[in-house]
Structure 1
């Protein structure tokens, strides 16, 4: 029996290829919107050996952010849908500006999974260009219907965030319960993309929410419930407040900006030193994809003995890709062990998998 949805997808992809090949105006227009300082090349990489993209003949959904690429590929498991990550390996998904080579990936995709307005300016510009040129790439907004925390709950209420009035903190996916809503949004989008596979998509999403996100939430809760200290100092940008909101702990980022590219000011270092002294902090977290210099300064000038890794699930290292790590693996192998250590629950040697302390202590 002929698969009508696959035939329709092939026609749509062929039309998009014709558009990109034949319309210099459209390609140039989107390239201009996406152009800018770029640390990466083409976004045409899966960031995983298991990204549903082996056959090359299924609907394609491209994602603007690693976490939601990972959710998408888990939802699309065992279906023809191909889910691809646009952010190159080794780069942070918030603050990255792609070059024009990503244009073709977005135009040719059947769906674009994005994090909502005002979070990634390049994605906003790409979406506007798709609309202006009447390209029928389906848009999947992972933030739709998610209850966001006030930006006032962070340390820099003067900075513009997202949402109505731009007064909300965008990093909701760090809260596993809020992340469930994004899984539902992606699921609805993929069901629309491949209705013949609705049952598999919904079952995969249900399993991921109950078996993965719920377990992560419960295990995080145990870590923070066991802690006598309720303050965490991070040599990282202001991306971890949803952890604090969810589990009742004060997250103190060194960089109060929302993007990882924010500068560290002398006043930031001074305030961090005070927090470290007042709370008798021996270990701090450092952003995996951020500068090590501020953490090393605190190491040299305070009682801090070492820094260990944290990440807001916004990017991946090459070895993580090789080991097929996603949101779940990063939670258990990176963030949770560090929170155990910085909260004083465990010594570095007691935390994480075998060899974790040696690998990650004052990592470069």
Structure 2
């Protein structure tokens, strides 16, 4: 009898230990989260901390407009817990493929509910002179045919404004909390820190740009519109609906740049720099690379602000990164 009772006690103890080990293992396994672009990795890691493993579908240096998920990414997506989109038009096509391999994945569009602006397009009257990418430009854009917007499309580049990212942070914390309810308090605390850092970034940018007289800048692809709106700037795009300028359009852009006393022209690594370099050379300005898809979000926005400020004040300070 004592032997039977002892065996039952040992069995119960063993079952309790197995349950504890299983619960501990589940709690220590990070949530597998996919995002669309590299800046989102920073956002999710700051809110999720060690409780998430984040991977961007689009890698740095690639254009989302023509990106195709790799077989390895599709394999990892099949086991992912959460996909956080950011309102890119191409995400609808991606999600059809992702749901085919992982119908249970949770999807949240972080741009949902946020107010969007219309796209800025080239202001020149000779828009018909803009032409599809040729030669090096076509190669640089990876697939020029897919890189196309029309005038009715709204600007998806919301993340260039820290104020927009603060709102996205709320959605990130809520979605993580639904998947790991035991850690809601952790996500809420991390969110508060993240939003405080974004407030600090906003203050730094305003300090860097304080007193800036030349508040217009030219840029090849119009991807910094929300940054411009937030800080009282104006971006003037070189391309129009995914097409580079022809000779007539380029001449008008150069005249516009001279008239507005524009001193800086931004180019992006996903596109050819030729048109930007021609404009900058003609106006005596400089070309600066500005990648709104760069992974180090805080450093990247400060770099963009400093690039603008340095056109007037080369000694602009570099504030500390949070």
TM superposition score normalised by structure 1? 0.67
| Distance in structure 1 (CA, Å) of the matches to 2:89 and 2:297 | 20
- Structure 1 pair 4–143 and aligned structure 2 pair: CA distance change class (3 A): farther
> Alignment RMSD, CA only?
2.9
8 Å contact 2:160–2:224 — kept in the other structure? Answer: yes
Q: Does 1:126 find its partner at 2:94?
A: yes
User: Cα offset for 1:203?
Assistant: 0.9
Q: Does 1:215 find its partner at 2:200?
A: yes
8 Å contact 2:265–2:279 — kept in the other structure? Answer: no
* Structure 2 SS opposite 1:237: coil
* Structure 2 SS opposite 1:168: coil
Which residue is 1:198 aligned to? 184
Matches within 5 A, 1:153-192: 155=122, 159-160=149-150, 167-192=153-178
Structure of greater relative contact order (alpha carbons < 8 Å, 6+ residues apart)? 2
Any unmatched runs of 5+ in structure 1? 10-54, 317-325, 354-364
Q: Does 1:331 find its partner at 2:301?
A: yes
* Structure 2 SS opposite 1:90: coil
User: Cα offset for 1:305?
Assistant: 3.8
- Structure 1 pair 183–248 and aligned structure 2 pair: CA distance change class (3 A): same
8 Å contact 1:111–1:138 — kept in the other structure? Answer: yes
**Aligned length, in residue pairs:** 277
| Distance in structure 2 (CA, Å) of the matches to 1:231 and 1:290 | 21
Q: Does 1:65 find its partner at 2:65?
A: no
* Structure 2 SS opposite 1:201: helix
- Structure 1 pair 306–274 and aligned structure 2 pair: CA distance change class (3 A): same
User: Cα offset for 1:222?
Assistant: 3.0
- Structure 1 pair 305–168 and aligned structure 2 pair: CA distance change class (3 A): closer
8 Å contact 2:33–2:54 — kept in the other structure? Answer: yes
TM superposition score normalised by structure 2? 0.75
Highest CA radius of gyration, 1 or 2? 2
| Distance in structure 2 (CA, Å) of the matches to 1:305 and 1:147 | 34
Aligned partner of 1:306 among 260, 280, 286:
286
User: Cα offset for 1:155?
Assistant: 4.8
| Distance in structure 2 (CA, Å) of the matches to 1:337 and 1:80 | 34
| Distance in structure 2 (CA, Å) of the matches to 1:274 and 1:249 | 20
